[in-house]
Amino acid sequence: MANMEIERKFLIKSLPENLASYPSKRFVQGYLSTDPVLRVRREGGEYFVTYKSRGLMEHEEYNLPLTKEAYEHLIKKADGIVIEKMRYFIPDKDGLVIEMDVFGGELDPLILAEVEFGSADQAKAYVPPEWFGREVTDDTAYHNSTMSKMGLPEKERRKNMKKIGIFMADGCEEIEALTVVDILRRAEIGIDMISITGKQQVTGSHGITFVCDRLISEADFSSYDGLVLPGGMPGTTSLGAHKTVVEQIKSFAKEGKLVSAICAAPSVLGDNDILQGKKATCHPGFEDRLAGADVVTEPVAADGNVITSRGMGTAIPFALSIVEYLGEEAKAAEIREAIVY
């Protein structure tokens, strides 16, 4: 007999206290089909095959018990990732129960919380606890069936990108460079200031000297998930003329990793065919250097793995866009409020 499931799904911001005190059960499940959904699952010592109809918050579900032998036969035929997770059953208000899944294996470190309801009205009226994060009920990337094919949702993969490299040259625009460093460190995202000058001290275009974290010869580019080019003159010219800078931005772009630039520096991306077919912006007067781009005049242009911005006055939204690209939307919102932006 069909069971109508009405549920909402959330990411979480923090684990509830005394997690180990709640009842829990280990789940192992695989999908014989994802459209329609046909799932085989082990729940502790019980085994089931499940059919699910299409739907986001509301869908029909049919469950049939399996023998252990039948489960072990069918799970070998599952397509894609066999999902492993520990489910915790946490009492909530009004007799509801939060089912919190802590994923292992290829979906580690994802944690999702689901709440099932007796009616659509009850679901719509539900106010989640403070430790819940963004709701993902309508985001199919967070469906178990989708993750069995695609792995972690892109936003979750981005959350694990916690290190950025920013190139520093004499004559860079100090505010554009250091605003990015400041904002990313507030967001607890690692960022290395990489000097291309052969010395750790770099002097910006307005005579401000600062100390970088490492020389470009010392940088391990395999550890970075994105690169940033600040503008300013003659800093931008120096970046475009530096062999390693050019090699690395081309390599990152080819691999689909983040490549970002502000003010005059998007011209370096344009000169190296990184903006082909991308929406991009820059400081007024450099538009003809954005080869192949769809040139816009927005403060920040984010298009896939390429983020560009216009100048010193747009350094804050540029930096926040990088934080958001890395999957930290909540952090970006917190920073906006904290700095009264």
Query: 55 falls in which pLDDT band (50, 70, 90)?
Result: low
Can you list the alpha helix ranges (DSSP code H) found in 120-234? 120-125, 144-150, 154-159, 174-186
Q: Are residues 262 and 135 in the same domain?
A: no
Q: Are residues 331 and 233 in the same domain?
A: yes
Closest to 228 (Cα-Cα) out of 188, 286, 168, 281: 168
Query: 158 falls in which pLDDT band (50, 70, 90)?
Result: low
Put residue 13 in one of left, alpha, beta given phi > 0 → left and psi -120 to 50 → alpha.
Answer: alpha
Query: 225 falls in which pLDDT band (50, 70, 90)?
Result: very high
CA angle 69, 72, 76 (to 5 degrees): 145
Return the higher-pLDDT residue of 18 and 242.
242
Which among 31, 71, 88, 224 is annotated as catalytic? Answer: 31
Query: 53 falls in which pLDDT band (50, 70, 90)?
Result: confident
pLDDT score, position 61 = 81
Does position 229 have pLDDT exceeding 80, yes or no? Answer: yes
Mean pLDDT in residue range 63-90: 94
Q: Are residues 11 and 51 in the same domain?
A: yes
pTM: 0.58
* Helix H or strand E segment including 214: strand 214-215
Strand arrangement, sheet containing 300-303: 214-215, 190-195, 163-168, 226-229, 258-262, 306-309, 300-303
Mean pLDDT in residue range 52-68: 80
Query: 253 falls in which pLDDT band (50, 70, 90)?
Result: very high
CA contacts within 13 A on the Cβ side of 162: 7
Q: Are residues 121 and 188 in the same domain?
A: no
Q: Are residues 60 and 166 in the same domain?
A: no
Q: Are residues 113 and 211 in the same domain?
A: no
Query: 161 falls in which pLDDT band (50, 70, 90)?
Result: low
pLDDT score, position 2 = 55
Q: Are residues 251 and 134 in the same domain?
A: no
pLDDT score, position 202 = 98
The yes-or-no answer on residue 62 being catalytic is no
For the domain that residue 315 is a member of, what is the CATH number? Answer: 3.40.50.880
Does position 94 have pLDDT exceeding 60, yes or no? Answer: yes
Mean pLDDT in residue range 44-63: 82
Does position 160 have pLDDT exceeding 70, yes or no? Answer: no
For the chain, give the percent of residues with pLDDT over 90. 85
**Maximal CA-CA distance, the chain:** 75
Total domains in the chain come to 2
Q: Are residues 189 and 294 in the same domain?
A: yes
Closest to 90 (Cα-Cα) out of 65, 71, 114, 108: 114
| Domain stop point among 135, 152, 169 | 152
| Domain stop point among 133, 152, 171 | 152
Q: Are residues 145 and 166 in the same domain?
A: no
Give the C-alpha separation, 28 to 44, whole Å. Answer: 9
Give the C-alpha separation, 120 to 240, whole Å. Answer: 57
Return the higher-pLDDT residue of 191 and 159.
191
| Domain stop point among 101, 121, 152 | 152
Q: Are residues 11 and 142 in the same domain?
A: yes
Mean pLDDT in residue range 14-39: 92
Backbone angles phi, psi at 275, to 5 degrees: -100, 5
Mean pLDDT in residue range 114-131: 94
Mean pLDDT in residue range 209-227: 95
Does position 58 have pLDDT exceeding 90, yes or no? Answer: no
Q: Are residues 127 and 26 in the same domain?
A: yes
Does position 284 have pLDDT exceeding 60, yes or no? Answer: yes
Query: 56 falls in which pLDDT band (50, 70, 90)?
Result: low
For the domain that residue 86 is a member of, what is the CATH number? Answer: 2.40.320.10
Q: Are residues 14 and 67 in the same domain?
A: yes
What is the chain's length?
341
Residue 86 structural domain: 3-152
